[in-house]
A and B are shown apart, each in its own frame.
Chain A
Amino acid sequence: MQISNRLTGIGLAVLGAAAAYGGSLLPPVPGQQVGPNVFPMVIGIGLVLCGIAIAIGVGSSFEEPEQVVAAEDGSHVPAGQEAPVPHAALKTVVPPLLLLFYAFTVDHLGFIPTAAVMVAATCFALGGTWRSALILALCAPPAVHLVFAKLLRVPLPPGLLPMPW
Chain B
Amino acid sequence: MSTFIEAWQMVLAPDVLIAILLSAIYGLVVGSLPGLSATMATALLVPVTFYLSPIAAIATIITASAMAIFSGDIPGCLLRIPGTPASAAYTDEAYAMTRKGQPELALGICLWFSALGGVFGTLSLIIMAPLLAEFALSFSTFEYFWLAFLGLMCATVVARSSPVKAIAAMLLGLLIACVGIENPAGTPRFTFGSTDLLGGIEVIPALVGCFAVAEVMRAMSVPEPPQLERRKFGSILAGQWKLTKEYPKQQARGNIVGIIIGVLPGAGADMAAWVSYAMAKRFSKTPEKFGTGHPEGLIEAGASNNASLASGWVPSLLFGIPGDTITAIAIGVLYMKGLNPGPTLFTEKASSMYALYIIFMLGNIIMIPLGIIMIRLATFILRAKRYMIMPVIVLLCAVGSFATGNNLFLVITVAAFGVVGYLMEKNGFPVAALVLGIVMGSMVEQHFITSLIKSDGSLLPFFARPVSAVLAAITIGLMVWPLAVWLYKKRPQGRAAAI
Asked whether A8 lies within 8 Å of B427 as measured between CB atoms, the reply is: yes
- B391 CB contact (under 8 Å) in A34, A58, A69, A136: A136
Q: How far is the CA of A129 from the CA of B222 in the complex (A)?
A: 18
Asked whether A72 lies within 8 Å of B229 as measured between CB atoms, the reply is: yes
Given A122-B216, A140-B391, 5 extra CB contacts under 8 A? A36-B187, A61-B162, A74-B293, A91-B221, A100-B412
Asked whether A120 lies within 8 Å of B96 as measured between CB atoms, the reply is: no
Residues facing A in B216-255 (CB within 8 A) are: 216-226, 228-229
Asked whether A59 lies within 8 Å of B163 as measured between CB atoms, the reply is: yes
Asked whether A120 lies within 8 Å of B391 as measured between CB atoms, the reply is: yes
Count how many chain A residues have C-beta atoms less than 8 Å from C-beta atoms of the other chain: 88
Residues facing B in A123-149 (CB within 8 A) are: 123-128, 132-133, 136, 140-141, 144, 148
B: which residues have CB within 8 A of A?
44, 47, 96, 99-101, 160-165, 167-168, 171-172, 174-175, 178, 183-187, 189-190, 213, 216-226, 228-229, 293, 385-388, 390-392, 394-399, 402-403, 406, 408-409, 411-412, 414-416, 418-419, 422-423, 426-429, 445, 448-449, 452-453, 456-457
A: which residues have CB within 8 A of B?
1-3, 5, 8, 12, 15-16, 19, 22-23, 26-27, 29, 31-36, 39-40, 43-44, 46-47, 50-51, 53-54, 58-64, 66, 68-74, 82-83, 85, 88-89, 91-100, 102-103, 106-107, 115, 118-128, 132-133, 136, 140-141, 144, 148, 152-156
Asked whether A50 lies within 8 Å of B395 as measured between CB atoms, the reply is: no
List of A residues within 8 angstroms of B452 by Cβ: 32-34
Ranked nearest first, the 7 interchain pairs of A and B with the lowest CB-CB distance are: A128-B387, A59-B164, A74-B100, A36-B185, A99-B415, A126-B387, A122-B391
Q: Is the interface of A mostly helix, strand, loop or mixed?
A: helix
List of A residues within 8 angstroms of B99 by Cβ: 69, 74
Known A58-B164, A63-B162: A128·B175 in contact at CB below 8 Å: no
Which chain A residue lies CB-closest to B456?
A33
- Smallest CB–CB gap between B461 and chain A, Å? 14
List of B residues within 8 angstroms of A15 by Cβ: 172, 175
Q: Is the interface of B mostly helix, strand, loop or mixed?
A: helix
Q: Can you list 16 A-B contacts with CB-CB less than 8 angstroms, sorted by A residue number?
A: A3-B423, A16-B171, A29-B187, A32-B449, A43-B171, A50-B171, A63-B161, A66-B428, A69-B225, A70-B226, A74-B293, A115-B399, A122-B390, A122-B394, A144-B399, A152-B403
List of A residues within 8 angstroms of B229 by Cβ: 72
Known A2-B426, A95-B394, A122-B216: A40·B408 in contact at CB below 8 Å: no
Which chain B residue lies CB-closest to A120?
B391
